[in-house]
């Protein structure tokens, strides 16, 4: 069985790639150096040549609140192109199984908690990341359409906020978790007395270690077969202020944290209902404290 992992050098893709290799699977990784998924003809040729049995699509243009809000065209247009090119190529090559990885940002801003899969498109999106969310919703719909029109056994998975080694720590584009690690570790190293963070710190988020996501994705690829997308998460959340306090503590920073309430908070709360996932027999293994410590160690070892 040949498996293609698109986006295999990113945070999510690399974790999936590593687990597959450790299990002795025949796995091929794609990044922009191997084949540019924005190029439709090149994508079709690559998939036709490799003839995989399974494609796991973790390739995407991603970022935090600031990047989502500033680069709306890129986040919408390029993500649409990537996923459409890859799915269409998979269909032409008669790929049996396809796993599309979306994002929990597809759900409405004011959504009942915990968020069930059925809550998709029941209200307005969070405005700061609506362009990216619409691209991912389109991916979910395309998977459903391939299932209905061509009887494809393809599925969509919606991960919560993922973190871990090999994340992007660029403060201009990163998500909240790696941004906090960067700010606190850098502040400690420079001897800064204060760290300033966006928003109020009150929003609550759920965080999933990349290795836990990888095992969930592989389990779903084997056991899940439905046109309803599947939530992937822990089912537990904490406030950004609580997360910041943990990162501050484990980084060794002893200064003051200031919250800039003029900056956006984003969605007030986002925790997923993962009952369907856990019914498949999956449980997360990495605690939030252990995950923070590991991510800090990775950042300290790989960044100045």
| Residues marked as catalytic | 132
Beta bridge partners of 56: 5, 99
DSSP state letter for 128: G
- Which residue, 46, 55, 59, is CA-closest to 27? 55
Distances (CA, A) of 134 to 86, 90, 160, 262, 298: 18, 22, 16, 26, 33
- Cα gap 183→247, rounded to integer Å: 10
Beta bridge partners of 26: 2
Q: Angle between the 288-302 and 240-251 helix axes, to the nearest 10 degrees?
A: 50
Which two tokens mark 126? 């969070």
- Cα gap 6→279, rounded to integer Å: 27
Q: What counts of helices (H) and strands (E) characterise the chain?
A: 10, 13
Q: How far apart are the first and last CA of the chain?
A: 41
Identify the burial level of 22 via C-beta atoms within 10 angstroms of its C-beta, where 0-12 means exposed, 13-18 middle and 19 or more buried.
exposed
- Which residue, 177, 169, 113, 209, is CA-closest to 299? 169
Do 138 and 154 contact (CB within 8 A), yes or no?
no
């Amino acid at each position: 069985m040949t498996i293609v992992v698109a986006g295999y050098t990113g945070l999510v893709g690399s974790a999936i790639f590593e687990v597959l290799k450790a299990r002795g699977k025949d796995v091929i990784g794609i990044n922009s150096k191997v084949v540019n998924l924005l190029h439709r003809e090149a994508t079709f040729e690559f998939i036709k040549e490799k003839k995989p049995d399974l494609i796991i699509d973790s390739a995407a243009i991603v970022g935090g609140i600031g990047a989502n809000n500033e680069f709306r065209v890129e986040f919408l247009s390029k993500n649409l192109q990537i996923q459409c090119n890859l799915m269409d190529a998979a269909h032409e090559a008669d790929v049996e199984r396809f796993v599309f990885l979306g994002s929990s940002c597809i759900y409405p801003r004011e959504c009942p908690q915990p968020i069930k899969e059925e809550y998709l498109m029941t209200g307005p999106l969070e405005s700061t990341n609506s362009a990216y969310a619409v691209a991912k919703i389109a991916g979910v719909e395309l998977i459903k359409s391939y299932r209905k029109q061509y009887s494809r056994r393809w599925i969509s998975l919606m991960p919560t906020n993922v973190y871990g080694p090999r994340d992007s720590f660029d403060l201009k584009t990163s998500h909240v978790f790696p941004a906090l690690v960067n700010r606190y570790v850098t502040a400690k190293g420079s001897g800064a007395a204060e760290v300033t963070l966006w928003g109020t710190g009150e929003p609550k988020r759920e965080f999933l270690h990349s290795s836990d996501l990888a095992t969930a994705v592989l389990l779903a690829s084997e056991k899940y077969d439905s046109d309803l997308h599947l939530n992937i998460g822990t089912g537990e959340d904490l406030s950004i202020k609580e997360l910041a306090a943990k990162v501050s503590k484990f980084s060794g920073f002893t200064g003051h944290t200031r919250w800039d309430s003029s900056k956006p908070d984003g969605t007030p709360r986002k925790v997923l209902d993962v009952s369907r996932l856990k019914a498949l027999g999956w449980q997360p293994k990495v605690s939030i404290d252990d995950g923070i410590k590991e991510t800090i160690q990775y950042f300290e070892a790989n960044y100045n």
